[in-house]
C-alpha cells in the first residue's frame, strides 16, 4: 500500500513538473514580446499583484491558520519569497531586454545543472554516471535546437549584459527550488503560496517605484492586459503551485531535469500560436531532450 502511494506521489510530481514547464514556456514568449513596452520591475509588479489577488480567496485563511508556523520559520520563508517572487522573474524580464532569444534559450537550461550541483553540496544527493549522461544528452539536444542544427553558429554567439542576467536568474531559481523543499511540513500549500506571493510583492514594490520614477506607467492595451493576466494567473498561481508540489514529491533535481523540456514546448507553442514551422531539427532535439530526461530521472 505504501509502495503504491509512493509511486502515485512520483507520478503526480512528474505531471506537475511538466505542467509548470508547459505554462512557463508561454511565459518566456510573453516576456520577450513585452520587453519593449513594459519595464521589468513594473511587469513583475503587475504579474504578482494579479497573482496575489487570485491567491487570497484560497490562501488567506490558510495563511492565518499557519501564522505560528510562519513566525517560527520567518527567515527561510522570507528568503524563499525574495528569490522566487521578487528577484527571479524581474531579473528574467531584465535579461529579455538586452540579449537575443538564442542566448536566452541556451542559458536558461543551466538551471537544472545548478540544481544538481547545489543538491550534491547541500543535500548530499548522489550524482551518478547515468544522471550525468542524461544531463549531457539533454544539453546536447537543446544546443542542437538553439543553433538550428548548425554547430558553426556557436562560434558567432556574442554575450551581452542580458546573458549574465539570465545566468543569474537560472542560479536564483535553482536556489529557490532547493528552499521550496525546506517548506515547513506543518504549513499548508495554500498558506505557503499566499505568504510567498504577498511577501514577494511587498519586497518588489520599492523596486517598481524606483523604476517608475524614471519612466511612465505602460499603456494598458488588450495585449498588455491579456499578457499580465496570463503571467499573473497561469505562470504564477498555477505554475508555482505545480512546481512546488513537484519539488516536494520528486525533489528539485528530478523536477529540474523535466524543466529541460521547456524549449520543446516553446517550439510546439510557437507552431500552434504563431504558425512557426516545426522542422527535423525540432524533432531530433526534442528526442534528445526527452531521452536525456528519462535517462537522468529513471529510478
pLDDT value of position 97: 84
pLDDT value of position 241: 85
pLDDT digits (tens, 9 = 90+) for 95-122: 878 766 556 666 777 777 788 778 888 8
Chain mean pLDDT for the chain: 84
pLDDT surpassing 80 at residue 299:
no
pLDDT value of position 117: 79
Sign of the dihedral through C-alpha 94, 222, 278, 20: positive
| Residue 279 or residue 137, greater confidence | 137
- CB contact at 8 A, 68 and 117: no
Would you state the cell numbers that stand for residue 104, as one nine-digit string? 536566452
Would you state the cell numbers that stand for residue 278, as one nine-digit string? 516545426
% the chain with pLDDT above 70: 91
pLDDT digits (tens, 9 = 90+) for 192-218: 989 999 999 999 999 999 999 988 888
% the chain with pLDDT above 90: 32
pLDDT value of position 276: 64
- CB contact at 8 A, 295 and 137: yes
pLDDT digits (tens, 9 = 90+) for 71-92: 999 999 999 999 999 999 899 8
Quote the number of domains for the chain. 1
pLDDT surpassing 60 at residue 26:
yes
pLDDT value of position 140: 83
Owning domain of residue 248: 2-297
Burial tier of 291 (Cβ tally within 10 Å: 0-12, 13-18, 19+): middle
Helix axes 2-33, 88-98, angle to 10 degrees: 40
Would you state the cell numbers that stand for residue 73, as one nine-digit string? 520559520
Mean pLDDT value across residues 25-40: 81
Q: Show Cβ contacts of residue 219 under 8 Å, excluding neighbours closer than 6 positions.
A: 37
| Residue 68 or residue 223, greater confidence | 68
Q: What is the dihedral of CA 260, 250, 229, 99, to 10 degrees?
A: -30
Amino acid at each position: 500500500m505504501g509502495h503504491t502511494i509512493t509511486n502515485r506521489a512520483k507520478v503526480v510530481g512528474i505531471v506537475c513538473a511538466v505542467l509548470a514547464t508547459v505554462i512557463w514556456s508561454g511565459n518566456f514568449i510573453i516576456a520577450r514580446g513585452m520587453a519593449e513596452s513594459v519595464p521589468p520591475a513594473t511587469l513583475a509588479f503587475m504579474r504578482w499583484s494579479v497573482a496575489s489577488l487570485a491567491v487570497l480567496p484560497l490562501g488567506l485563511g490558510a495563511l492565518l491558520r499557519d501564522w505560528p508556523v510562519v513566525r517560527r520559520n520567518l527567515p527561510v520563508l522570507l528568503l524563499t519569497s525574495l528569490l522566487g517572487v521578487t528577484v527571479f522573474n524581474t531579473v528574467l524580464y531584465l535579461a529579455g531586454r538586452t540579449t537575443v532569444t538564442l542566448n536566452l534559450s541556451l542559458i536558461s537550461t543551466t538551471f537544472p545543472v545548478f540544481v544538481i550541483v547545489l543538491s550534491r553540496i547541500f543535500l548530499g544527493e548522489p550524482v551518478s554516471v547515468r544522471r550525468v549522461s542524461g544531463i549531457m544528452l539533454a544539453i546536447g539536444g537543446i544546443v542542437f535546437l538553439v543553433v538550428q542544427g548548425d554547430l558553426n553558429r556557436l562560434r558567432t554567439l556574442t554575450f551581452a549584459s542580458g546573458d549574465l542576467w539570465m545566468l543569474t536568474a537560472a542560479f536564483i531559481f535553482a536556489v529557490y527550488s532547493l528552499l521550496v523543499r525546506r517548506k515547513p511540513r506543518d504549513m499548508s500549500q495554500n498558506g505557503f503560496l499566499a505568504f510567498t506571493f504577498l511577501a514577494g510583492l511587498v519586497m518588489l514594490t520599492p523596486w517598481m517605484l524606483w523604476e517608475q520614477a524614471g519612466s511612465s506607467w505602460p499603456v494598458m492595451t488588450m495585449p498588455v492586459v491579456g499578457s499580465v493576466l496570463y503571467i499573473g494567473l497561469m505562470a504564477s498561481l498555477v505554475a508555482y503551485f505545480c512546481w512546488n508540489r513537484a519539488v516536494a514529491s520528486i525533489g528539485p533535481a528530478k523536477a529540474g531535469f523535466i524543466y529541460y523540456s521547456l524549449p520543446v514546448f516553446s517550439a510546439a507553442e510557437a507552431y500552434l500560436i504563431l504558425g512557426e514551422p516545426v522542422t527535423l531539427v525540432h524533432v531530433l532535439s526534442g528526442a534528445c531532450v526527452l531521452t536525456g530526461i528519462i535517462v537522468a530521472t529513471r529510478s
